[in-house]
Amino acid sequence: MNTLIKGKAVHFDNRYLHVELEDGRLISTPMTWYQELQEASVKEVSNYVFICQKTGIEWPGLDYHLSIESMLNLQFQQRVA
């Protein structure tokens, strides 16, 4: 069975981007992975929408898109770190 990882809510603090999933899990990744988000204002980062059947997040004011699945991908972590 192929189940999509779907977002429910986005929260952030100085250190982490937190994405709450529809199934109740919470994914937290370092804000340092996302330079565009780290450099944006609180208002800009707070202005997000879910896209692609809630499998991605878009920040329209920043023209920035993030796949929720990429937050779990080890290759992404190693490439950015």
DSSP string, 21-55: ETTS-EEEEEGGG-HHHHHS-HHHHH--EEETTTT
Domain residue ranges of the chain, discontinuous segments joined by +: 7-80
Is the domain covering 7-80 a CATH 3.30.2020.40 domain?
yes
Handedness of CA 62, 35, 80, 68 (dihedral sign): negative
Specify the pTM: 0.85
Per-residue confidence band for 3, with pLDDT thresholds at 50, 70 and 90:
confident
Average pLDDT over residues 48-62: 97
pLDDT confidence tier of residue 74, bands split at 50, 70 and 90: low
Give the pLDDT confidence score for residue 24 in this predicted structure.
Answer: 95
